[in-house]
Amino acid sequence: MRTPGVCRGHSTRELSSNDQIPSEGTVTFVSGTGEVAVNVAANKPASEISTFPGHNAGLANDGSFDNKNAGNRGVCSHTNEPPVAGVRTWWQVDLEACYDISSVIITTSVDCCADRLHDFDVDVYDKDPEMYPDATAQRCYHYVGSIPTGATEDLVCENRPIRGRVVRVTNAPGYVLSLCEVQVMAVP
């Protein structure tokens, strides 16, 4: 019996002549077989360990790259204050289907909190780890240091592509987590 919300199997395919090539700027990975990666995270269900009022998780995958004056305007996700010593804050998105994920692109705030995102992990799960404690994580990327303030960085998964449906960003212990946009690049 199939379990809802769980990845099964593995599939890859080559592009056919009928495939639509994504518009310029959305492609970050083309495999040797011609597979093209596109963002599959936009407006999918997002959640975070806690929410600072007005900074809900969905702001990090709403398709808007607005990242200016983020602390006051509520254009980026932000976990609650104050941060708790030893606790690793997280943000995640459920892609609502299984994808072969090649990279995760993160955009940080220009003027608030970006420096608090450092030494973090990007993991891919076969199912929601909040709903299924036995969900297995595969490491996409371990980031050493901080993404520069206001920058957009493409974190290419080690051992890509990684098959999964939930992508989670987990920060270093004891810091809030604020993300302005997260794109999950995968073979559709």
Closest approach of Cβ 60 to Ca ion, in Å?
6
Q: Is 181 in the site for Ca ion (CB under 5 A)?
A: yes
Interface with Ca ion, residue 62, by CB under 5 A? yes
* Both structure tokens of 37: 């990666």
At residue 156's C-alpha, the angle toward residues 155 and 162, to 5°, is: 120
In the chain the beta strands, taken as DSSP E runs, fall at 38-39, 46-48, 77-78, 90-107, 121-125, 137-142, 152-156, 162-170, 178-179, 181-187
Q: How far is the CB of 69 from Ca ion (least distance, A)?
A: 14
From the list 50, 64, 149, 152, which residue makes contact with Ca ion (rule: CB under 5 A)?
64
Tell me whether residue 46 or residue 98 sits nearer to Ca ion (CB atom): 46
Q: Which is nearer to Ca ion, 7 or 95 (CB)?
A: 95
Does 123 bind Ca ion (CB under 5 A)? Our answer is no
Furthest C-alpha separation in the chain: 54
- Report the nearest approach of Ca ion to the CB of residue 84 (Å): 25
Minimum distance from residue 186 beta carbon to Ca ion (Å): 19
Question: In this chain, which stretch among 24-32, 62-70, 125-133, 157-165 interacts with Ca ion, using CB under 5 A?
Answer: 62-70
Q: What's the rounded Cα separation, in Å, for the pair 102 and 38?
A: 9
DSSP letter, residue 161? -
In which element (H, E) is residue 122 found?
A: strand 121-125
Chain residues that interact with Ca ion, rule: CB under 5 A = 62, 64, 181
